[in-house]
Amino acid sequence: MSRAAVFLDRDGVINRALLRDGRPIAPLCESELEILPDAVPALTALRERDLALIVVTNQPEVARGALSPETVERLHARLRRELPLEAILACFHDGAACECRKPRPGLLLQAARELQIDLRASFMVGDRASDVLAGERAGCTTIFIDRDYAEAGPARCDFRVRSLWEAAQVILARTAPS
């Protein structure tokens, strides 16, 4: 039986993105990982609605040699301990050659296969244009968290909000209580 999910980008959505010249970058160690204050209440409310919470994240720093897969796993283990996440899927590639790197929808399609997710009933929440485009390509409702980065946002999205809490409210208004 298929169910709905909320796909979440990682950096800038559930944890604070570090900024370099106004552009978001990922934390490179555990001491830089700061879970955003609204993540726990927002994700708890979504989980109580019986939505699968799945992180889909590009981590090209691994391919670039700036971050080890083991460090990424330690960061993800902490996120799984502190947040009600069902799964975390990561693309470690750099460049656009793979199917799993957003804006391609590969990670969302993988989760749909492995976790029996109905993509049309699901949401993609992200803070960059590539997140929104991946969600759109997968057939999800897209929610863009506008963090005022020094880069272009998505050309279009279904909803534009300022925080994960606001995104959760949009989703809760559009899903039936379980």
How high is the pLDDT of residue 96?
67
Specify the residue for token string 């559009």.
Answer: 174
- DSSP, collapsed to helix, strand or coil, labels residue 12 as coil
> Which pLDDT band, with edges at 50, 70 and 90, does 66 fall under?
confident
Sorted by where each begins, the domain ranges of the chain are: 5-173
For residue 152, the tally of other CB atoms under 10 A from its CB is 8
How high is the pLDDT of residue 79?
98
Q: What is the pLDDT of residues 156-177, one digit of tens each?
A: 999 999 999 999 999 999 998 8
> Which pLDDT band, with edges at 50, 70 and 90, does 73 fall under?
very high
**Does 3.30.450.80 match the CATH number of domain 5-173?**
no
Q: What is the pLDDT of residues 31-48, one digit of tens each?
A: 999 999 999 999 999 999
Q: What percent of the chain is predicted at pLDDT more than 70?
A: 98
The model carries a pTM of 0.96
Round to whole Å and give the CA distance between 97 and 19: 26
Residue type, 89: L
Phi, then psi, of 42 in degrees rounded to 5:
-65, -50
The single-letter DSSP state of residue 118 is -
CB-CB contact of 69 with 61 (8 Å): no
3-state helix, strand, coil in the chain (%, to 5): 35, 20, 45
- Whole-Å CA distances, 140 to 7, 27, 70, 97, 118: 9, 27, 31, 23, 9
Tokens of residue 27, six digits:
């934390």
